[in-house]
Structure 1
Amino acid sequence: MILTVATLGSRNVAAAEPFQIVGFGDSLMAGYQLNTGEGFPERLQAKLEQLGYDISVTNAGVSGDTTSGGLSRLDWSVPDGTDLVILELGANDMLRGLVPEVTEQNLEKMILRLKERGIEILLVGMYAAPNLGADYIRRFDSIYPRLAEKHGLPLVPFFLDGVVTNANLLLSDGMHPNAEGVDRIVENVLPVLKPLVAPAKKNM
């Protein structure tokens, strides 16, 4: 589901301040083992600026973070004045085999807190690893589309789409994207993100 920009209609498009995005997530957001400027928030900001948007993307990723950890730090990691949060958490819950229903509860609490503050949300999904079994995969993979539908959120179904299956786009650990992989992720996210940041387009 992709929301229209009407949800951001109250924003003053002529405001002097850049549109404030916070990338809130785990090592995939933090830029694990990447050089300065190669992480997803940095590459996303560079791409949006290249496309003519007045944007600031803050990196609030913490390597190893779970949804429980994210919930505990959400309020102080997302400052007042934030327009949009890209919510990318759950991969570490899955890798640890944590109960999917608890992951969903934590994500929903974060969604509700952000909504209470008037902050828009782009939800980023994750898929369970195939070795976790059919039942776990079914329960985990359904979390993100269900939350997106319930709360009317735009959704990127799988953050690593086209990356995790391509060794050329991964670090040697076979799990995290390299710089080229990050660029692919940015391209995956842009079609869903652009309608949400339309007020930040220069010379509209």
Structure 2
Amino acid sequence: MFKVLSLCFIFLSFNAFGQTVMVLGDSLSAGYQMPIERSWPTIMEQRLKASGQAEKVVNASISGDTTGNGLARLPALLDTHQPDWVVIELGANDGLRGWSPDLIRKNLTQLIKLSQQSGAQVALIQIQIPPNYGKRYTKAFSDIYPTVSAEQDIPLIPFFMEKVVLTPGWLMSDGLHPTEAAQPYIADFMSQQLKPYFGTRSN
């Protein structure tokens, strides 16, 4: 009887914590101008393993990607990696191009639905763009994320760049990308934000 209970505990522990997390993002997550091994998703894998909450973090981010690019790549990524969680960090390049908020919202919604249809759970990262795009567009863009999160009933993770832009040495000279020095902070921030959700699975 004890052996049976022990085996059940091991099985349940694996199902709860031996998960694969896929980060689908752009240059903010891809390790822009640095080895991918030093990007925050790779460091986050180490953080989550230390707490027993994830088995693997797949960094499926590509610099320059838009929500449309992510949508085109997602089916193959889901088939290859079969993630338990998909963390979506996309939309910055759409916003920097001034694309329609309706289009961005539609693409994000489709990304979420495709991920869920594969059996994965989804978390969405809030994205902000510089204020020089005008108050009206900046607000419309920012509002996309809580709206989609509420409509799809998924977690909304705060934008991890807010502290980065205020910390000397953490922002590249382009004023957009986090430096290598910022990656451990982002990994810790994201680990803490995501940990409450990683104890559950969709199936």
**Structure 2-normalised TM-score?**
0.85
Mapping of residues 75-94 of structure 1, within 5 Å: 75-78=75-78, 79=80, 81-94=82-95
Q: Is the 8 A contact 1:154 1:192 kept in 2?
A: no
CA distance in 1, matches of 2:93, 2:124: 16
1:118-141 deviations in Å (ceiling 9; x for gaps) = 210111111121000011011100
Point out the more displaced range, 123-132 or 159-168. 159-168
After the TM superposition, which residues 32-181 of structure 1 pair with which residues of structure 2 at under 5 Å, given as runs?
32-78=32-78, 79=80, 81-181=82-182
- Specify which structure has the bigger relative contact order, considering alpha-carbon pairs within 8 angstroms and separated by 6 or more residues: 1
Structure 1's unaligned 5+ residue stretches are 1-10
Displacement of 1:16 in angstroms is 11
Larger helix proportion of the pair: 2
Matched residue of 1:14: which SS?
A: helix
Equivalent-residue separation in structure 1 for 2:147 and 2:102 (angstroms):
12
Q: How many residues align?
A: 190
Q: CA RMSD in A?
A: 2.1
| Aligned-pair CA distance for 1:195 | 1.6
Q: Aligned residues: percent identity?
A: 35
Answer yes or no: is the 8 Å Cα contact 1:145–1:157 preserved in 2.
Answer: no
Q: Are 2:21 and 2:54, in contact at CA under 8 Å, matched by a contact in 1?
A: no
Higher CA-based Rg? 2
Q: How far apart in 1 are the matches of 2:28 and 2:154?
A: 21
> What letter is aligned with 1:135?
R
Aligned equivalents of 1:113, 1:36: Cα separation in 2: 26
CA-CA distance at 1:87 after TM superposition: 0.4
TM-score of the pair, normalised by structure 1: 0.85
Judging changes above 3 Å, is the alpha-carbon distance between structure 1 residues 151 and 33 closer, same or farther for their aligned structure 2 residues?
A: same
Query: Any stretches of 5+ residues in structure 2 without a counterpart?
Result: 1-10
